[in-house]
Amino acid sequence: MVAQMQDIGPAAGEIVVQADNLVAALGPNGTDNVELIAGFFSPSYPWHRVGQLSILRIDCDYYKPTMLVLQNLYDKLSVGGVVILDEYYLPIMGEGRAVDEFRAARGITSPIVRVDHQSAYWVKRAEGKRAA
């Protein structure tokens, strides 16, 4: 598992996760398979360091980082794995549009399940097209 950490201050309107707080919250054995990587998602993010996934939780809020995560990590998600979307139903954010475009381009038809007023998930099936 890779935990992405943002190196920005709360004045920028973002939530900051301090590495020591995250490690403490995970507990004594919780970091055995976790690698903390500081920084924002970007084309230069070390995607190659992420291994096979069973859960892909996307909480990027906006179109571009959501699309980057899907393009770089979806193929690492196991069939039967779950994609969790934090802001799928908040159209002003752009996450839903990125997800819809990605799924359409890949031919993904697994149903998106609504969780609450903003969140959703889908289970990956053996369908669609892999990245070229």
Output 45 or 81, whichever has higher pLDDT.
81
Output 8 or 25, whichever has higher pLDDT.
25
| pTM tops 0.75 | no
For the cut 90, the answer to whether the pLDDT of residue 82 exceeds it is yes
- What is the SS3 string spanning 26-70? HCCCCCCCCEEEECCCCCCCCHHHCCCEEEEEECCCEHHHHHHHH
Q: What single-letter DSSP state applies at residue 11?
A: G
Dist CA 74 CA 84 (whole Å): 12
Three-class SS state of 111: coil
Please state, for a pLDDT cut of 90, what percent of the chain lies above it.
Answer: 42
